[in-house]
Amino acid sequence: MIRVSLALLFFFLILTLEPVYASFTVTDISPSEITATDAIITISASASGLSNSNQYLQAGLTKEGEANYFGFTKNTGDQWHLYQSTPTLSDLYSFTPQNGTWSGQVQAKIDITDSGYKGPGNYSVKLFKYISSPNSRLDSNVVTVSINIPASPPPAPAPPSPSPTSTSSSQTNDSKEITWIASNTTVRLGEDFKLSVQLKNFETAASYYLKIRAGQSADKLTKGETKNGNSYLSDNDSWTQFPQIQTDGSGNWVGDLAGKIISSEPTGSYIIKVRAKKASTDTTYDTADKNLTFSAATPVTAPTPPPPSPAVKTSSVSSPIFHQEILGTNTISTMSASAAGVTGTESAYSFAPEQPIAEPNTAENILVAGKKTDDSVSKIITLVAGFSIVMGTILFACSKMGVWKKLLPLLSRLKN
């Protein structure tokens, strides 16, 4: 039994451990200087000597000389994931090596609200790669970026709630923090914009609803609509219709929230807030006021109608009801010239009747057809009358000449 267990353990180690010669290198980082909180950092990397199984990546930044990593990494599902020392692998950027090698790019962002951000200066950037568990980590080399953004001031303590039934709190109430970063650089009225939202120090494994509030004045934040699936929800819709999220075991959550400003609203700067509400209570938490500028909605051009179909001109052509035909075999004489003189040859050709062309039943055609029918009947009557006269004459002549008397004895003998 012990031997079987050891064999299985050895087989598992072969599947999960990287070869000892595996390499993992950051080859480039852009930009090298960060001056905006929503700047996207593109990290190019390559690896070799890998096993051809699923691999997972996250990025981390730390002040030079420090060991506290922080920041966001965009995962394969196009969502921003907060750095964690013991991450859930399914939340990370993933890839599968081909023939043991991989090269690609990973996107990251800074998080100036994290305690690891110490203000302007040089920061070390690393990529951390995992295979089957957070313990199977392989670190890349270190590259340096310069960050020139002031550190956030320490949050002021939240004022005490006036009553136990209070329904709102600031972004730092009870040490809870909620922030957002805009993912869109160009925003138009009536079109979706995306916010990367972060909740920190909230209740662990708790459900919260999220909504976007927007307006050009702080007392009228009702001009925004929050997207949930294919639906857009106004500020006054029921909380249960809004996107619902769940914090992790540390009370944190990072993800995207989409919405839009109603297209009929004026252009300009809008105050944008994200509000979180715990599913089981009426307590809400707001981000600090931040602004986004919205330009005019994209004009809608009407489709060009197809060109009209060309008119088809019609004309009537009169033609005779029947065509004259030359039927049977006809001999045609042809002449050919020779040195001795002119000679002639004859050839026989057969002519088939031509099919009559059908004509419309006009009054003139009906009269012509009737006349032809009357002529045919008259000819038949004339033939029958002539035949009767001829037969009568023959019978009368035979009677006068006694032909019948001579024929009767002959017919009697033939009968016997």
Q: Which of 334, 200, 201, 184 is nearest to 260 (CA)?
A: 184
Which residues constitute the domain of residue 138?
19-147
Nearest 5°: phi and psi at 107?
A: -105, 140
| Residue 66 lies inside a defined structural domain of this protein | yes
| Residue 404 lies inside a defined structural domain of this protein | no
- Helices 403-415 and 363-400 pack at an angle, to 10 degrees, of 90
Residues 80 and 193 in one domain: no
What does the angle CA 90 – CA 92 – CA 98 come to, to the nearest 5 degrees?
90
Q: Mean pLDDT of all residues in the chain?
A: 76
How is residue 259 written in tokens?
């919405």
Q: Which of 42, 2, 51, 45 is nearest to 22 (CA)?
A: 51
Residues 26 and 139 in one domain: yes
Residues 125 and 205 in one domain: no
Residues 182 and 257 in one domain: yes
Residues 187 and 246 in one domain: yes
| Residue 316 lies inside a defined structural domain of this protein | no
Residues 128 and 212 in one domain: no
| Domain total in the chain | 2
Task: Tell me how far apart the alpha carbons of residues 210 and 217 are, in angstroms, rounded to a whole number.
Answer: 21
pLDDT band at 379 (very low <50, low <70, confident <90, very high): confident
Residues 67 and 187 in one domain: no
| Residue 403 lies inside a defined structural domain of this protein | no
- Ranking 48-62, 113-127, 181-195, 314-328 by mean pLDDT, the lowest is 314-328
Residues 142 and 178 in one domain: no
Nearest 5°: phi and psi at 11?
A: -65, -40
pLDDT at 283 over 90: no
Q: Which of 38, 35, 70 is nearest to 195 (CA)?
A: 38
Residues 203 and 142 in one domain: no
- Count other C-beta atoms under 10 Å from residue 355's C-beta: 8
CATH number at residue 116: 2.60.40.10
Q: Which of 143, 132, 111 is nearest to 25 (CA)?
A: 143
Residues 121 and 177 in one domain: no
- Give the model's pLDDT for residue 333: 45
pLDDT band at 338 (very low <50, low <70, confident <90, very high): very low
Residue 310's alpha-carbon distances to 91, 236, 305, 306, 307, in angstroms, are 61, 55, 15, 12, 9
pLDDT band at 109 (very low <50, low <70, confident <90, very high): very high
- Give the model's pLDDT for residue 400: 66
What confidence tens digit (pLDDT) does each residue in 167-210 have? 333 344 457 889 988 866 678 999 999 898 999 999 888 899 99
Q: Which pairs from 290-294 meet CB under 8 Å and 24+ separation?
A: 290/180, 292/182, 292/187, 292/193, 293/187, 293/268, 293/269, 294/187, 294/188, 294/189, 294/261, 294/265, 294/267, 294/268, 294/269, 294/270
| Residue 167 lies inside a defined structural domain of this protein | no
More confident residue, 401 or 225: 225
What is the residue type of 176?
K
More confident residue, 333 or 121: 121
User: Percentage of the chain surpassing pLDDT 70?
Assistant: 67
| Residue 9 lies inside a defined structural domain of this protein | no
Contact call for residues 112 and 152 (beta carbons, < 8 A): yes
More confident residue, 370 or 317: 370
Task: Tell me how far apart the alpha carbons of residues 408 and 393 are, in angstroms, rounded to a whole number.
Answer: 20
- Give the model's pLDDT for residue 106: 94
| Residue 99 lies inside a defined structural domain of this protein | yes
- Residue finishing a domain among 247, 263, 294: 294
| Residue 3 lies inside a defined structural domain of this protein | no
How is residue 228 written in tokens?
């949930």
The CA R_g of the chain, rounded to the nearest whole Å, is: 51
Alpha helix (H) residue ranges in 63-142: none
Alpha helix (H) residue ranges in 46-180: none
Residues 141 and 192 in one domain: no
Mean pLDDT for 254-272 is 91
Residues 128 and 183 in one domain: no
- Residue finishing a domain among 246, 272, 294: 294
